[in-house]
Structure 1
Amino acid sequence: MKKSLLLAILVLGISGLANAMSSNPNTGYTETKYPIVLVHGLFGFDEILGIDYWYKIPEILMEGGAQVFVTQVASANTPEIRGEQLIPQIEEILAITGAEKVNIFGHSHGAPTARYVASVRPELVASVTSIGGVNKGTPFASVVNDNSGSEDEFSPMIELGDAFVTGLDFISTGGFEQNFRAAFNSISEAETEKFNESHPDGVPTTACGEGDYISNGIHYFSWSGAKAVTNLLDPLELVVIAASLSFPEDELNDGAIGACSSHLGMVIRDDFKMNHLDEINQTLGIHGLGDTDPLTIYRTHANRLKQAGL
């Protein structure tokens, strides 16, 4: 059993006892019927050197009564491979909790990963929520792919990329096959179009519309930010700014994913004043002063799922 699942069981028991003893009026606000499963994006992890990918998000959801599990899949690979890595973790979560299904929250590349699982194993999934999800590709992928050379020639960028994600895998709860080139190919506009043909549930049929709210019995939701620069005190802000340069000037984006590309099912909002890292409350909770707190969005959405019987 993975370290993250063991930690979740421990925290679940502690939080349950705390909630039973507490008179906190927020108790029950995020208490969804089905467990919430968090799936990281490209270059993601569960926890590294004491820093969680989903910074304070599991805690705020569990504080209100939710059962929350942090999963880990390959930091860089295709959504199909990542999805197959996710399925046994979901099966284990269902065995631990006794639940029939789960609510999956997928950030960035975690969105198509979650959609793959919902497509091939719909009996496991109650809902999929895409958070800054790369559902119709990103021009940033074209920049990387165009500078990576062909598959049969040496590419310093690919070598460095593979070394980086292998390092991430080593220092987190990993052990997964990594493939930097395959990951970036999979988030290109052409490859996501192919993926959507095989796994179309919740995907809008128009350029910037909404998709089916419910498909094959599974509920689909999405939200995203649309502001690359939010707080220059964030040490990773420059990474997001650099990625945002791949977008046309008039295209709303969170620094990595276009607002329209993030749409899936019911679009809650695609213009939060946050960037791609703010969407997971990184770095260490630094976000735009006066802008919406990411933790509030997660709490509100968990309550939305609760009200929907999910």
Structure 2
Amino acid sequence: MKKYLLTAVAAATVSSQVMAMSETLETGYTETKYPIVLVHGFLGFDQLVGVDYWYNIPETLQQDGAEVFVATVSNTNYPEVRGEQLIEQVEDILAITGAEKVNLIGHSHGGPTTRYAGSVRPDIIASVSSISGVNKGTVVADTLMEWSDNSDVFGTAFDVFISGISGFISFASGSDLPLAPVESVRSMTTDASVIFNAAHPGGIPESDCGEGGYEYNGVHYYSWAGAKPATNLLDPLEPITIAFSQFFPDGVANDGFVDPCTSNLGMVIRNDFAMTHLDEVNQMLGIHDLSETDPLTVFRTHANRLKNDGL
């Protein structure tokens, strides 16, 4: 079995952060019919130097009944490759749990990854939820690939830089899955997304900032996104989202990596949370805008939504 984390945190373990989120925990509130599988994005991991990608999210969901698994796919590669890796892990999860299907939740590049799985294996996928997914591409990838294609110097430097980061994450997280760093970025361009969406149209809106079909081939589609590149000056990762936000034209909302309108998929829960691209998965160590919605609350509420939808 390929290495991936099957999260099994005791329900009795309640962190002070989670308790602060809700004074009274509701037993069964997050108890979905099918297991929840979390799928990381570009340059993602399950755990890296002691830090979980989905910080406190599996524990929070499991407290009130959800069965949660954290998948590990290549931190850089085409969504089709990552999707096939995900399908293999979903099949293992079904064998372990006896469930018929799973609910997939993907962040960033995990959006197209989970959509691919839902598209080619709708028989084992109950729902796909995209968190700031690069569902219609991102201007960040467009710009980087334009620079790379038009300059041999930049192209070589970019390849070396992104390959170095991808390789380090793979080594440090103990993954031996195949990597394709530059190709992964190219798959997130607007042009590549048009081709991908034609092959896997489930949940994709026809309008620029509207909703898509709520259900396609029996798979239910949902999405939400943040729209602020900076939320808390104490967050050591915030300079990254602030820097990438400079790629967007003036006046275009973004979370530091994705325009929320381009992330819409299926039922749009919200695409204007006061969250950065990293806040959306409760990074770094849960530091976020303290005056706005806690990311953990968003996950709990969505698990309850899936439960109420019979998923």
Per the alignment, in what secondary structure is the counterpart of residue 80 of structure 1? Answer: helix
Rounded to whole Å, the distance in 2 between the matches of 1:17 and 1:279 is: 23
Are the equivalent residues in 2 in contact too, given 1:72–1:173 (CA < 8 A)? no
Report the counterpart of residue 74 of structure 1 in structure 2. Answer: 74
2:241 aligns with: 240
- Does 2:119 match 1:119? yes
| Offset of residue 183 of structure 1 | 0.6
- Give 1:252's aligned residue: 253
Secondary structure of the residue aligned to 2:82 is helix
Q: Does 1:308 align with 2:309?
A: yes
1:33 corresponds to which residue?
Answer: 33
Counterpart of 1:210 in structure 2 is: 211
Q: Does 1:15 align with 2:11?
A: yes
Runs of 4+ aligned residues of structure 1 deviating over 6 Å after TM superposition are 150-154
* TM-aligned CA deviation for residue 274 of structure 1: 0.6
Q: Using a 3 Å threshold, how does the CA distance of structure 1 residues 100 and 284 change in structure 2: closer, same or farther? A: same
Q: How does 1:1-310 map to 2 (within 5 A)?
A: 1-2=1-2, 4-5=4-5, 7-8=6-7, 10-11=8-9, 14-15=10-11, 25-149=25-149, 155-310=156-311
The alignment yields a C-alpha RMSD, in angstroms, of: 1.8
Cα distance in structure 1, aligned partners of 2:152 and 2:256: 31
Question: Does structure 1 conserve the Cα–Cα contact (< 8 Å) formed by 2:135 and 2:264?
Answer: yes
Seq. identity, %:
54
**Counterparts of 2:243 and 2:50, CA distance in 1:** 27
Secondary structure of 1:136's counterpart equals: coil
Q: For residues 131 and 219 of structure 1, do their structure 2 counterparts lie closer, same or farther at Cα, with a shift above 3 Å needed?
A: same
Q: Secondary structure at the match of 2:256?
A: coil
Q: Is the 8 A contact 2:129 2:223 kept in 1?
A: yes
3-state SS in 1 of match to 2:224: strand
CA drift at 1:151: 11
Structure 1 pair 206–286 and aligned structure 2 pair: CA distance change class (3 A): same
What is the alpha-carbon distance in structure 2 between the residues aligned to residue 177 and residue 88 of structure 1?
A: 15
The code of the aligned residue for 1:281 comes to N
CA-CA distance at 1:163 after TM superposition = 1.7
CA contact (8 A) 1:2 1:173 kept: no
Query: Given residue 167 of structure 2, which amino acid in structure 1 is its aligned partner?
Result: T
2: distance between equivalents of 1:179 and 1:225? 27
Per-residue CA shift, 1:253-278, capped at 9, x if unaligned?
Answer: 11100011110000000000111000
> Secondary structure of 1:287's match?
coil
1:45/1:173 contact within 8 Å kept: no
Cα gap change, 1:168/1:25 in structure 2, threshold over 3 Å: closer, same or farther? closer
Secondary structure in 2 aligned to 1:222?
strand
Alignment length (residue pairs):
301
Instruction: Flag structure 1 segments of 5+ consecutive residues without an equivalent.
Output: 19-23
* TM-score, with length taken from structure 2: 0.93
Residues 179, 106 of structure 1: alpha-carbon distance in 2 compared, 3 angstrom cutoff = same
Residue by residue over 1:231-268, the C-alpha shift from the partner in whole angstroms, topping out at 9 and shown as x without a partner, is 11100100000111111112111110001111000000
For residue 124 of structure 1, report the CA deviation from its aligned partner.
1.1
Shift of 1:197: 0.4
34-43 vs 244-253, greater mean Cα deviation: 244-253
Contact 1:61 1:302 in 2 (8 A): yes
Query: What is the match of residue 21 of structure 1?
Result: none
Distance of 2:225 and 2:300 partners within structure 1 = 15
- Per-residue CA deviations over 1:117-169 (Å, capped at 9, x if unaligned) read 01111111000000011100000002211232379986111012112101101
CA contact (8 A) 2:226 2:276 kept: yes
Distance across 2 between alignment mates of 1:25 and 1:227? 29
Q: Letter of the aligned partner of 2:11 in structure 1?
A: S
- Counterpart CA distance in 1 for 2:272 and 2:138 is 17
Shift of 1:199: 0.3
Q: Where do 5+ consecutive residues of structure 2 fail to align?
A: 15-23
| SS of equivalent residue, structure 2 residue 149 | coil
TM-score by length of 1: 0.93
Q: Check whether the contact 1:222–1:268 (CA below 8 A) recurs between aligned residues.
A: yes
Cα-to-partner distance string for 1:63-91 (whole Å, 9 max, x where unaligned): 01100000111111110011011111000
Distance 1:98 1:151 in 2: 52
* Cα distance in 2 between the residues matched to 1:178 and 1:69: 22
